[in-house]
Structure 1
Amino acid sequence: MNFSVKSFGCKINKYNSNKLIKKLKGNGLKYKKNIFNIDYLIIYSCSVRNNVINKIYSIFGKLNKKCNVILLGCVLNKKYIKKNFKCIKLISNNLKEVISYIKK
């Protein structure tokens, strides 16, 4: 399976993104820098600023229909996101939960 990780916001999100990439690669998944032709897109978000939220929504429109999106970090308005973006499969702040979800 292929995956990509996009990180928005603070240094902690970038650190956690790199940590997650290493763990998923260690579990046999293939990391791709682009968001096209992937099975999973993992977004570490910091939705404190509205421009970050708009960037994330823009990404959703560019994905293929088969892509599964996992959101991590501070995500505001989870109900709105789950209702309006069917590509969202998981919203979590737990790396182990994300890895388990992808491996199943």
Structure 2
Amino acid sequence: MNLNELPGSEIILPGLSDLNNGECNTIGALLVAIAATRLTEAGLDIPKYSLTPEPELTLYALLQDERDDAYAYYNALLNLLNSFCNALELSYKYKPSNFIVKHL
């Protein structure tokens, strides 16, 4: 599966890279932190040591500092994150090896 083809990958994948490099306060890294449990359960390796506590609040504060429309942009980012997670979960769920193991 090519993660670059999933919706939202243009923000989520750089965020994952940021976390792997110890950067935890970028928009992408905060989105990954918000969905860390879902992403881990869907097969991604999330570096838990660099996750920000309360990433939702941190992301919103970051957006308020940068934009006049923080609320709308925050919601759009969460929708993008949800789309990425849904697509990843579907691809993980229907991966041939998972299908065989779960249904034997």
TM-score (norm 2): 0.31
TM-score (norm 1): 0.31
